[in-house]
Structures are given as C-alpha cells and as structure tokens.
Structure 1
Amino acid sequence: MKFEIDSRNVSEGDIFIAIKGEKNNGHDFVNEAFKKGAQSAIVEEKRDYIKDVILVDNVIDYINQQASNIIKNSKIRIGITGSNGKTTTKFFLFHLLSYGFNVFTTEKNYNTEIGIPVSILNNYNNQPVSILEMGLRKENDLEYLSKYYNPNISIILNIGTSHIEFFKNRKNIAKEKLKIISHAEKPGLIFINGDEPLLDVEYPKDMKVFRFGETKNNDGYLIDYEYYNGNTRVYYHIYGESLMLTLSGIWNKGQLLDALVSLMISLYFEIPIDPFYISSFKLPEKRFDFKKFNNSVVINDAYNASRESFFAAFETIKKMNVKEKKILIMGEMLELGENSYNYHLDVLEKAKDVFDEIYFYDPNNKYNFEKLDFINILNKTDEIIKVLNSQYSYIYVKGSNGTNLWKIVEDTIKGG
C-alpha cells in the first residue's frame, strides 16, 4: 500500500489523496482512483463516491498531522532550508550520517507541505534520524512545516533571490527562512551561514548556534578548493581542525559550502571521517552534469537557476582553467518579479569575465538585451541546438527549469 496524489499512478490497495491544486482538483479523480484499485481516498469535499472515503476538514493539514505523528519517533529531526543547495545538502548529509545511524530522508527534492508528508507516509520506517528538506514559496510556508515537524536541528544555508517576486527583498526572505525555528524542539541546534548579515540575529537562549562559511570567524570555513582528473579536492577548517577531502565530480563553491555544514553536523555526532566512504558520494542528478558532445564538453546545469547559483558556477569554471573556447547559454531566472531585468543583467555582466561567447535564450522576447553588444539572442530551439554543435568548446547551460533548457540540451545530446 502507498499514498498517491496522482490517480494515474494508483495501484491495487493504495490510498488516494485528493489535493486541490492550482490547476486540478483531486476530488474530480477520486472515482477514477477507485476504479484502478484504490482501497480508500482522503477527501474534504462531500461527493458521490463509489467507495467509502476518509472525510476530513482539510486534506493537507490531515496528511501533515499523520506524517508528524509517526516521524516524532525520530529522536533527531533535521530541517534544511535555503535559497540554494537544499537537495544536495540533504543527500550528502544522509550519506554522512548513514555511516553511523539508520537515517530517513525525503525523496528527490520533495520539500513542500504535500511532498514531505507523502514521502514520510510512504517511506518512513521508524528510523531514529530524519532529514527533511523544507522549501519556501509563499509567506509562512516554513512556519507551517516547523509546526508539524519540530526540527531539533535546523540548517539555513543561504539567503538568495529565488522567489523574490513573492517577498520583495532578501530581508523578507531571511525573515521567512528563520521561521524554520518557530516551532523547533528545544533545546536544539541551528547551523547558519555566518557570512550572511541577515542571519546575524538574536537566537533563543536554549538553541546552540553554529556558523559556517568562508571567513575565519565561523565554526567551520572553506579554505580553498581545486579540480583535478574530474574530481574536487577541498580544504576546510572545522571546529579548530584542518581537513582535506577529495569529492567525486566537479563541485562548485556553493555545493562545497553545503558539504561543509553537512560535515559539521556529522562531526558534531562524532561520526568518523572516512575519505573513501565520502568519495563514493555522487552529486544529485541534473546538477552540473558534464557530457561530451561533438568534440566539446556540455555542462547541463539548467535544472534551476538564481543569481547566486550563476555566480558560484562562474567561479567554478574560472577555477577549472579551461583552455578551450567557453560558451554560455543562459536561460531566464523565473520568479524574480520587478527585479528580473536587473538581476539578469548582473549575471550577464559577470559572465563577460568568464566566457568567450554569451547567448541568452529569450523565446518570448521578454527582455531587451539586443542593445548589449556582447550578447547573442536565441529565440528558437533550433538556434540553441546550433550553438550546442559548436566544436572544441566548453558550453555551460543554465536557466530555471521552466525554460525547458534542460530538456532541449538532454534531447540534443541523446540524439547525437
């Protein structure tokens, strides 16, 4: 038996959850789910259903309460939030803590009031340690999640510009991110980016604060990193001790800070650092994905995008000392609101210091970048494919997932 929110995926014996979404109302598909073998359905609307249902006041509140009830069996509950890097941190921390504990974590990038409880209801099996990725899309999202899951270890990775359209400025984003501790179990721990002034606030006295970042006043800081043979060698200073590790694949600076806070938590629990075990970790798919194509290297990083993640990627490409021609194909960063033009311009100006050719994919002619003489505008998929066929180049592709750039690149490479 499993819990399903998509009637198309229902199998015999499942429980269907009728979610009212922005586009579809799950109640319209309850009887379809029953016909496919669902044993029951969780609903909040009274209708003519062909089987008995579980009628509740609010479906989302109900499934979060049920998930909350069972995950309280975890003595250690870790909540992760931040504008970038949540999923990488979650899976790397899961990898580290699994060396010493039996650990549960949510699937994929499930980090909402729907994804988290469904993942718990389907997969939690009384593990004593749980790691939950907690996303922020609208006001009070993190307070809602904190209320149900009461983390006793909280992580705030960074305060970026993702979803700034809904929050107007970074100060408001920081205010919302800090709500992860609004219902945190006390006493507790919080790990914060110590280089972010917006997180330099007064924390509850019964909450121990650890700071990470790049500056030496943090409890853990990144010293340096370098690339060789397709891997990343990184140097940290953590709790007064220096540490050198080799990580599999190419990690950008943002990801290395994600790794840093994960290592700090692992060391807090006195889990031994096993370099061979750590080097076996692979970055989540769709992040900085290297592919050889037509005598070139294409880096498909178009799963998501923000100004901060672009800047981190640019630093990485600089450090790689690439001798071939460097090409950027940039797609739109979504949900930036009135700041959108200036944030895109910031990224493009920064790109001038890194890339030999810069292309901006603007299929709807939304931006007026034609006047910038260092940018080439792409409006059609065929034009992107033509650039991807450039010979003897490093081609970096990044944009929000909604631009469809990831799929265009993937399909082009598969098609050879």
Structure 2
Amino acid sequence: MGIGVDIIRGQAIQTIGDAGHLERLNIMTDSRKAAADSLFVPLVGENFNGHHYLKQAIEHGAEAAIWMEREPLPDKIPDGFPVFFVRDTLAALQNMAKSYLNQVHPKIIAVTGSNGKTTTKDMIYSILSQSYRTFKTQGNLNNHIGVPLTILSMPENTDVLVLEMGMNHFGELTYLSQMARPDLAIITNIGESHIEYLGSREGIAKAKLEIVNGLKKRGTLIIDGDEPLLDNIQTNVFQIVRCGFGDQNNWRITDVDESVTGSRFTLNKQTESFHVPVLGRHNVKNAVLSFAAARILGVAIEKIRYGLEHLSLTKLRFEKVKGLNGSVLINDCYNASPSSMRASLETLKTLPGFEQRVAVLGDMYELGRNEEALHKSVAEIVKAPLTHLVTIGDKGAWIAKGLQEIGGDETLEVHVYPTKAAAQPYLESLLNDKTVMLFKASRLLALEELSGKLRAKESTNQ
C-alpha cells in the first residue's frame, strides 16, 4: 500500500534529510490519527495550519513530510528526517493524485448528484467487487481534499476506482472531473441541496453537468432519465444512458414491489427480477444506475444480482435498526433536502405491517432565501398512511406550519419540539411492535443521537 517516493519527489522543489531508505508511503493529513509509514501533508485552512503539528505527526507514524516552502520548519525534528518542499501542499496533494492515477490506470467511475451519491457508490462497489479489484471513496470524502485522498489510498493493483464527487459551488465538479478523468460519470438526480449557492434547480443541474468536463472521450454519462432538467444534453463526444421509470429510458424500472426487507423490481418488463435490501423507489433508481454502469463494464447479470442482494450501505442512509419495544427505526439522517425528504416519506408510507408510521423531521440547511417555503413544501405529502409528524428545530417547525396552512390531514398527530431532548419522551411513548419511525434532517442536527437513545439494546442492522 501507499504511493512510491518517485511521485513525491516529482512535486518537490527542494529536499532535505535522508529519503534514500523510503519506498512507499501512505498519506497522512490529520496528525492526530496514527498512520504507520506515512507522508505527512500539512494542509492550511482559514482556522488551521497543519504545519504546526509536525511533531505530533512524527509521533503517529510520519516517516517524511511535504512542506510549504514559506512555512518555517520546527527547531527539533529527528536528524535526517526527510522533508520535501513545495509551493503549496494542497496543490501537491492533488498533483500526486493525478500522477498516481496515471501510474495505476484504473477504470474510473465518478458519481455525483443532489441525493444518493453515497448509496449509488456503495451499490456500484458491491456489484463490481464480484468481478474486479474495486476501490471506492471511504465515507463521503468527496471534495477537493477527499477525492485526491481517496485516489492516493487505492491499492496499486486496483482495476476500478469509484469516486464520489460533491460540490456546492460552480466550478468545483469541473476541477474534480478533470483531476480524475472518469470513464463513466453518473448523475443520480437534481434536488435542492446547495441551492443557497447555486440559485435554482437549473443552476444545480448546470453545476452537476460539469462532471462531463473531465469525462474521457467516448466515455459514458449515466443519468436520472426522469429529470426534465437533464433532457436536453447535446453531445457527440460521449454516450448518454438514461435510467428511470419513464418510457424514454434505456433502462426502464418496472414492477416495483416494496417490503420492510427491501425492494424488488424488474427492468424493461423482463421476467427476471432484482432485489436490493434497502427501502424506497429512489433507491431502486440508484440500483439501476449502478446496474447500467456494471453492464457497460461487462459484468454478468447474475453477478449484478448477487452484488445488489448482498449490499452493505454506509451508515445513516435509510439504515433500518431495531427500536425499543419491538419497533423499527429508520435512520436516514446523514443529510436532507426537500426532495430527499419527500422520497423518504413516500417510502415510509408504503411499508406494510405497521399501525403507526411516525415521521421525525428536522432542519434542512443551505436552502437559501426560500428556505421557509422549501420546508413548507414537504407538508404537501405528509398525510395518511402516516400517523404522526414530529418536527425538531426552528426550521423543522416550518414543515408543521406548512401542514397547518394547507389544512392537512386531521387524523395526523403533529408535535413540534425545539430540541432532540425535548422530543425524546414523546417519541419513546410511541414505540411498540406496530411502530415504524423515520428520522430525517440535515447533518448538522445529528438526529442519529436521538434515534440512538430509542434503539433496542445491542441493536444491529436488520
């Protein structure tokens, strides 16, 4: 594991110390985390400067460091400790990633979208691992730092690299795509995430389409074919594959059957079905985007079916766990936007076998000047068979207010709480073996802290 010292030397304008014994080094950017045989890359931000922590990095396994030339070296470092001086450590990190990609030369799949990036990435990995040595973005390291770190972490024998790419401003996906030069690019959907910075859903679509700016010639763009904002892509440089529920799609989802154990579906009215152990029609679409990528890479249908069936998702993405008193809790609280919240609520409505379907909804962020209206828009689908709406936080309360303004379902019990702690006793009183409870909000609210207090002891994923 690790990258060769030749790649590191290629970034240096000057080197001190003895690097002759070094062959391959892992990358360390956080001096607090132990990483044996590593190269310390101190990054600089508005409120931090990694150059202040070289001693700590050495204690945690750093064998060498890249160093910004204008930063002073600490007085006391081990004799002969190798230091590679560069003009900018972040640029050096990104350039090393490009060099390492050229050396390993894997097939590259880049995944972006307002929602579903991580789930789709996990699905692709689960499928492709049956046929190829596959590496994927860990967690959601999907920005200008996370993408190069992912690249530099992949084993040297990697066949396929699956990169999640995120953004919240114009230009960011262009940079990431041109760094990675993907063979396949996937846009999962166009929602409202980051609308504060991008102005409109049209702006979001424009920013997401930047992913093609680094797409290799004769590459393939796989998209949500049901999204009108992606209808008019004009190109003679790359192929477009559309996936979704409408008749216009190359891969058309048919005959969806959902249960508490997951979703079963067919494609193009064929008789053979696929099963994914996750809930929601939106996740069926993510599965089909993954299917399309796998078919382009020549993976057999049976291996795709096996990969989907044995999927392991990153936590907090429609994660189903056992709650107190035999209840079922659904943690879908890694992040939220109005469109993803609506998709989760529609899924909650379809789950069979429950008498109480409780939606615990909280604040959504980065929605810009229309944030109140966007929260209220969720209220349109808060209706039977949902039985309870519980909102948490000042922004979450707008959902309940929206329900009141439209004269919502009178059979629905609605409770508004300012904090997670305030909501806990009431939520706990609802839990029994006929209750399913969904938790959905933006990351900052950390609703998993609340759901964790309502979990059965020693609960594991079902």
* TM norm structure 2: 0.83
- Answer yes or no: is 1:284 the counterpart of 2:323: no
Give the number of the structure whose alpha-carbon radius of gyration is greater.
Answer: 2
**Pairwise mapping of residues 321-332 of structure 1 onto structure 2 (< 5 A)?**
321-332=352-363
Deviates more, 1:371-380 or 1:126-135: 371-380
Note if 1:403 corresponds to 2:445. Answer: yes
Matched, 1:213 2:244: yes
Q: Structure 2 vs 1, CA of residues 78 and 69 (structure 1 numbering), >3 Å: closer, same or farther?
A: same
Cα distance, 1:12–1:288 mapped onto 2, change above 3 Å: closer
CA–CA separation in structure 1 for the residues paired with 2:196 and 2:50:
28
1:193, distance to aligned residue in structure 2 (A)? 1.5
Residue 111 of structure 2 is aligned to residue 87 of structure 1: no
Partner of 2:98: 68
CA distance in 2, matches of 1:206, 1:37: 46
Q: Secondary structure in 1 aligned to 2:226?
A: coil
Q: CA deviation at 1:368?
A: 9.3
5+ residue gaps, structure 1, are: none
Aligned to 1:246, what secondary structure does the other structure show?
A: strand
1:272 partner amino acid? A
Q: Assess if the C-alpha contact under 8 Å between 1:16 and 1:42 holds in 2.
A: yes
Kept in 1: contact 2:110–2:184 (CA 8 A): yes
Per the alignment, residue 380 of structure 1 pairs with 419
Task: State the partner residue of 2:208.
Answer: 177
Of 146-155 and 405-414, deviating more is: 405-414
- The answer to whether 1:312 aligns with 2:340 is no
Partner SS state of residue 94, structure 2:
helix
Give a deviation string over 1:73-111, Cα, whole Å, max 9, x none.
Answer: 335211111111111111211121222222222212221
**CA, structure 1 residues 33+207, in 2 after alignment: closer, same or farther (shift >3 Å)?**
same
For 2:335 and 2:100, how far apart are their aligned partners in 1?
A: 32
Moved more, 368-377 or 156-165: 368-377
Contact 1:314-1:354 within 8 A present in 2 as well = no
Indicate if the aligned counterparts of 1:74 and 1:126 stay in contact, CA closer than 8 A: no
**Which consecutive aligned stretches of 4+ in structure 1 deviate over 6 angstroms post-superposition?**
none
The answer to whether structure 1 residue 391 and structure 2 residue 431 are counterparts is yes
| Alpha-carbon spacing, 1:330–1:17, altered in 2? closer, same or farther (3 Å) | same
SS in 2 for 1:7: coil
Note the alpha carbon deviations across 1:195-220, whole angstroms, 9 max, x for none: 21221234331211111111011101
Q: Residues 169-215 of structure 1: CA distance to partner in whole angstroms, max 9, x if unpaired? A: 11111111111111221121111112212212343312111111110
CA 1:356–1:405 in structure 2 vs 1: closer, same or farther (change >3 Å)?
same
Q: 1:121 and 1:352, CA in 2 relative to 1: closer, same or farther beyond 3 A?
A: same
Distance in 2, Cα, partners of 1:102 & 1:371: 49
* Percent sequence identity over aligned pairs: 29
- CA–CA separation in structure 2 for the residues paired with 1:289 and 1:268: 29
In the superposition, relative to structure 1, how do residues 7 and 366 fare at CA in structure 2: closer, same or farther (>3 Å)?
farther
Q: Secondary structure at the match of 2:48?
A: coil
Counterpart amino acid of residue 441 in structure 2: G
| Secondary structure of 2:161 counterpart | strand
Q: Tell me, in whole angstroms, the C-alpha distance in 2 between the residues paired with 1:302 and 1:6.
A: 26
2:234 aligned with 1:194:
no
CA positional deviation for 1:140: 1.0
Cα-to-partner distance string for 1:103-160 (whole Å, 9 max, x where unaligned): 2222122211111211221233232222111111222110111121111211111111
Find the counterpart in structure 2 of residue 154 from structure 1: 185
Written as runs of structure 1 = structure 2, the 5 A alignment for 1:262-273 is 262-273=290-301
Return the alpha-carbon distance in structure 2 between the equivalents of residues 378 and 206 of structure 1: 52
Equivalent residue number for residue 274 of structure 2: 245
- Using the alignment, how far apart are the partners of 2:396 and 2:259 within structure 1? 40
8 Å contact 2:364–2:396 — kept in the other structure?
no
- Structure 2 gaps, min length 5: 1-24, 409-413
Q: Name the CA distance, whole Å, in 2 between partners of 1:199 and 1:231.
A: 28
* Structure 1 CA distance for aligned equivalents of residues 213 and 396 of structure 2: 43
Which secondary structure state, in structure 1, belongs to the residue aligned with residue 217 of structure 2? coil
Task: Provide the C-alpha distance between the structure 2 equivalents of 1:264 and 1:89, rounded to a whole number of angstroms.
Answer: 11
Amino acid at match of 2:96: Q
Give the partner amino acid of 1:325: Q
Question: Does the alignment pair 1:46 with 2:74?
Answer: no
Aligned letter for 1:244? S
| Inter-partner Cα distance in structure 2 for 1:226 and 1:367 | 33
Q: Which amino acid aligns with 1:339?
A: N
The question of whether the paired residues in 1 share the 8 Å contact of 2:260 and 2:352 is answered with: no
- 1:243-291 per-residue CA deviation (whole Å, 9 max, x = no partner) reads 411222x321111111001111222333212244531223332122222
Could you say what secondary structure the match of 2:56 adopts?
helix
Cα distance in structure 2, aligned partners of 1:145 and 1:371: 39
Task: Give the counterpart letter for 2:275 in structure 1.
Answer: T
Q: Secondary structure at the match of 2:235?
A: coil
Residue 129 of structure 1 pairs with residue 160 of structure 2:
yes
Segment drifting more, 159-168 vs 20-29: 20-29
2:243, 2:249 within 8 Å by CA — same for their partners in 1?
A: yes
| TM-score for the superposition, normalised by structure 1 | 0.91
Q: Is 1:118 the equivalent of 2:149?
A: yes
Residues 1:323 and 1:38: Cα distance change in structure 2 (over 3 Å): closer
The alpha carbon displacement at 1:382 in A equals 2.7
Q: From the superposition, tell whether residues 78 and 352 of structure 1 become closer, same or farther in structure 2 (CA, over 3 Å).
A: same
Are the structure 2 counterparts of residues 32 and 323 from structure 1 closer, same or farther at C-alpha, using a change threshold of 3 Å?
A: closer
State the number of aligned residues. 413
8 Å CA contact retained: 2:349, 2:384: no
> Which piece of structure 1 moves more, 388-397 or 253-262?
388-397
